[in-house]
Amino acid sequence: MNSYAFSSTMRSFCCTLTIVFSSFLLMTSGVAQVVDEPPVIANPYFDLPTYEQRWTFRELAGERVLRVDGMADQMSLGFGSRMDQIPQGGTLYLNYAYSPTLVGRTSQLRIRFNGELIRAITIPADASDRRHELELNLPANYFARYNELTFELLAEAEGLECAVLSPAAWLEFASQSYIEIATQQLVVADELSWFPEPFFDQRDFTRPSFHYVLPQQTTHNHLIATGILHSYFAKQAAWRGTEATVYRYRQVLQRESEVEDWPTSHAIVFMTNDERPWLFRDYPDVNEPTVRIITNPLNDIFKVLLIQAPDTNGLVSAVHGLVEHRAGLSGDRAIVYAAAPEPRPAYSAPRWVRTDRPVTFSELVDFPGDLQRNGYANAPIAVNLMLPPDLFTWQRHGIPIDLKFRHTPPIEKDESRLRVFINNEFIKGYTLTESGIGGAADRIRVPLLEFNPFTQPALQIPAFKLGAVNRLDFEFTFSARSEECRVRPLGNTTGAIDGDSSIDLRGYEHYVEMPNLHLFAKTGYPFSRYDDLYQTHVVIDVEPSNTEIEVMLSAVALIAGATGHHTSGVNIVAVDAIDQNSTKDFLIVGRAALQAFLQRFGRATLDQQLAHHGLSGRQQLLFSSNEQVAVSGPSAAMVSFQSPLHSRSTVVALTATDSDYLGQISALLRSSERSSAVTGFMTILTPGHEQNLQSFSRYYVGELSFWKRLYFHLSRYPVLVSVITLLALITLVLVIYWLFARKARRRVGGQ
């Protein structure tokens, strides 16, 4: 057990002794005491719940090959442990097969857990014709906040020179192999300095779920505060994604009318002096926005983050203070005097590659060690490139990268290589030389020359191979063969990409064809141009349902996860409050809000898209089913069209014919595989099918110079360009002929 978990256990034990001792004094005092406190369901500290978690190797490894061999003889898998749960031990279930050419008496698989050897397995060659299963115990005292399983193959293949490093010596795990962990819940102290824990734990690799408790009469300020806080959690969760569950309470005087489905887990509660749940009826009023962390009144092993303010405006201020000024938070309560932050400029998303300066690779990875690999053949160095979705790359030769890398020098010239891939497509290869360095570290920049024969040119990534979400892979492979092979090579090869390597997007403009739901589903575009959503209106019904609020939270979580910044400037409005001259983009959630929007501002731009699919004027796919075809089943839709208020603004609507079925959109946005298939201007979800309708009536957003815009749009019509060119040539010839004829007539007249 690490020191952190031990201290948490001791705090829980001390709390238990305090409760037991206080109860004993009350029972022996002989004085009946009546305390007007919210009733709680006692959960004895001695009977804390336990959980079982399971991760398959595929979930932990992603796309990596689950294989160890003579060239890449080690594989590691990592997973975390929550701060409010203590591991009670675990079990490792292995399903594997191995090469029939292994030398039986010397081949073995060594398994370590957090550096401790837990088993060395012999690999008999005569049993290579079948799959093997193995179950190993993981002792509880070996666990830490971050855990790592390491598999090392020590094997030789028969009949091969230098066979100890041959890929013929291999062992491969089935993706169904898994780790099962038993944990016990801990009671943590009421301490804000740990925030966002225990509500979100960075070392928990599962998708986090957040529980929000709101009043029945939810105002837009309630939704703004909830949206900002949820986007902050989504920013932290990143690739994990998030889930949100909304609970509602009524302002009543009798406990029997209180909400029945109160969360028995960590939760976030929003309340004002005038409107609060029955369970918190005795909490004192506040004069300033206040954030507290308290015990869940219905389950005293969990915590509640209580956002309290004199009015609903104060709830927004409290959340701003919590997420903008975390430094120095301490104790169980904080009073917030923070105002809303200033609007952020466009394209300032922390997770996007900047376009105003070169960006180094060290800024694109979480840890410096991510840019280094050891061994003869190991997993590629992966660098994620999140480009602005509207980056205009037409007629560009490529995106330049100043690549610098280091490696252990090969003893002699051999087949050692560095290969570069973008989105699994090969770009370029480098031979690893005896100098131990490579790339463009000493390149002299001569802007007037296309080619400098005295230096290595920068790596160019073809622009047509890039999308909004990209992965750049650098694969080091070292040759292990030599003329003499009497001893096992040391395996001390290392390749590293220098953190000073940079990608330069300066000079690129922003211009993209819309509508494009694929950009929304993957990056939140066009709303993510301003990562704080300052240029976005979120439109929702005045009395939204729980499902509509949850879908709204899924949308802002998508944007925050893609940009790496919480939506601090989000503005939630009703249709009646929208300015007729608004230039902002609109994110509409729910059928009632969409119907009101179309009734007020018209549906001409939407019908332009629907007309190409024979659906002009139809509504049954959006919010009703009382037209030509009446159906009994539900459907949901994501639809994007040009804003009727401004030609360069966009509307994205999330709607369903059945309010409960609207949650299918959240499931779609959370799925990386399903969201990758979203295209066009409309995606229709039914219980048995997902259909994408392609865009025909297009418009463009962004800034582009006049001549470049003209050339770009004319290039789409080559026949028209040919006719215009021919007419221009004919006109030029006629003008030249007329000028020469006129000059000739003057000469003749002068004689």
Q: Is there a cis peptide before residue 198, judged by omega within 30 degrees of 0?
A: yes
- Laid out side by side, the sheet with 689-693 consists of 571-573, 536-540, 585-589, 650-656, 636-642, 682-686, 689-693
What count of other Cβ atoms lies within 10 Å of the Cβ of residue 739? Answer: 10
Domain enclosing residue 178, as ranges = 3-185
| Same-domain pairing of 516 and 625 | yes
3-class DSSP string for 668-689: HHHCHHHHHCCCCCEEEEECCE
The residues facing 683 across adjacent strands are 638, 692
- Among the listed ranges 188-202, 226-240, 501-515, 624-638, which one has the minimum average pLDDT value? 624-638
Q: Do the beta carbons of residue 107 and residue 125 sit within 8 Å? A: yes
CA atoms of 467 and 360, how far apart (whole Å): 19
| Same-domain pairing of 632 and 531 | yes
| Same-domain pairing of 475 and 587 | no
Read off the pLDDT band of 64 (50, 70, 90). Answer: confident
Query: In 3-state terms, what secondary structure has residue 215?
Result: strand
- Among the listed ranges 52-61, 324-333, 436-445, 578-587, which one has the minimum average pLDDT value? 436-445
| Same-domain pairing of 666 and 557 | yes
| Same-domain pairing of 38 and 136 | yes
The residues facing 284 across adjacent strands are none
As a whole number, mean pLDDT of residues 39-50 equals 56
| Same-domain pairing of 18 and 162 | yes
The answer to the question of residue 708 being in a domain is no
Read off the pLDDT band of 622 (50, 70, 90). Answer: low
Determine the pLDDT at residue 645: 94
| Same-domain pairing of 170 and 312 | no
**Ramachandran assignment for 512, one of left (phi > 0), alpha (psi -120 to 50 degrees), beta (any other):** beta
What are the b/e assignments for 514-525, b being 16+ CB within 10 Å?
A: bbbbbbbbbbbb
Mean pLDDT across the chain, nearest whole number? 82
| Same-domain pairing of 678 and 552 | yes
Determine the pLDDT at residue 27: 36
Q: Do the beta carbons of residue 259 and residue 277 sit within 8 Å? A: yes
Distances in Å between the alpha carbon of 512 and those of 386, 526, 552, 640? 16, 10, 25, 14
| Same-domain pairing of 81 and 112 | yes
Look at residues 185, 203, 224 and tell me which one is the last residue of a structural domain: 185
pLDDT for residue 713 is more than 50: yes
What sign has the CA pseudo-torsion 733, 739, 742, 748?
negative
3-class DSSP string for 226-265: HHHHHHHHHHHHHHHCCEEEEEEECCCCCHHHCCCCCCCC
The answer to the question of residue 344 being in a domain is no
Determine the pLDDT at residue 160: 55
The answer to the question of residue 302 being in a domain is yes
Determine the pLDDT at residue 3: 40
Determine the pLDDT at residue 458: 66
Angle subtended at Cα 696 by Cα 691 and Cα 697, rounded to the nearest 5 degrees: 125
| Same-domain pairing of 270 and 308 | yes
| Same-domain pairing of 499 and 535 | no
Element (H, E) at 667: helix 663-670
Name the phi and psi angles at 272, rounded to 5: -115, 175
As a whole number, mean pLDDT of residues 72-100 equals 90
- Laid out side by side, the sheet with 502-503 consists of 359-360, 502-503, 399-402, 459-461
What count of other Cβ atoms lies within 10 Å of the Cβ of residue 669? Answer: 24
CA atoms of 561 and 234, how far apart (whole Å): 5
Distances in Å between the alpha carbon of 722 and those of 714, 718, 725? 10, 6, 5
Per residue in 276-302, pLDDT (tens digit) is 888 888 888 999 999 999 998 888 889
In this structure, are strands 267-272 and 303-309 parallel, antiparallel, or unpaired? parallel
The answer to the question of residue 207 being in a domain is yes
| Same-domain pairing of 680 and 611 | yes
As a whole number, mean pLDDT of residues 701-709 equals 86
The answer to the question of residue 343 being in a domain is no
The answer to the question of residue 244 being in a domain is yes
- Give how many domains the chain has, as a whole number: 5
**Ramachandran assignment for 702, one of left (phi > 0), alpha (psi -120 to 50 degrees), beta (any other):** left
Look at residues 185, 207, 222 and tell me which one is the last residue of a structural domain: 185
Two structure tokens written together for 702 = 């962004």
The answer to the question of residue 280 being in a domain is yes
Determine the pLDDT at residue 505: 86
Determine the pLDDT at residue 620: 54
CA atoms of 110 and 624, how far apart (whole Å): 62
Name the phi and psi angles at 361, rounded to 5: -65, -30
Q: Do the beta carbons of residue 687 and residue 633 sit within 8 Å? A: yes
- Chain CA centroid to CA 377, Å: 29
As a whole number, mean pLDDT of residues 667-679 equals 90
The answer to the question of residue 726 being in a domain is yes
Look at residues 185, 208, 243 and tell me which one is the last residue of a structural domain: 185
Per residue in 148-195, pLDDT (tens digit) is 999 998 877 666 555 456 677 889 999 889 999 999 998 889 999 999
* Amino acid in position 503: I
Read off the pLDDT band of 639 (50, 70, 90). Answer: very high
What count of other Cβ atoms lies within 10 Å of the Cβ of residue 37? Answer: 10
What sign has the CA pseudo-torsion 597, 600, 604, 605?
negative
The CATH number of the domain holding residue 422 is 2.60.120.260
In terms of pLDDT, which residue wins out, 409 or 10? 409
Percent of the chain predicted with pLDDT > 70: 83
Nearest Cα to Cα of residue 519 among 676, 319, 325? 676
Cβ neighbours for 319, distance < 8 A, ≥ 6 positions apart = 225, 228, 229, 307
Percent of the chain predicted with pLDDT > 90: 39
- Among the listed ranges 102-111, 688-697, 732-741, which one has the minimum average pLDDT value? 102-111
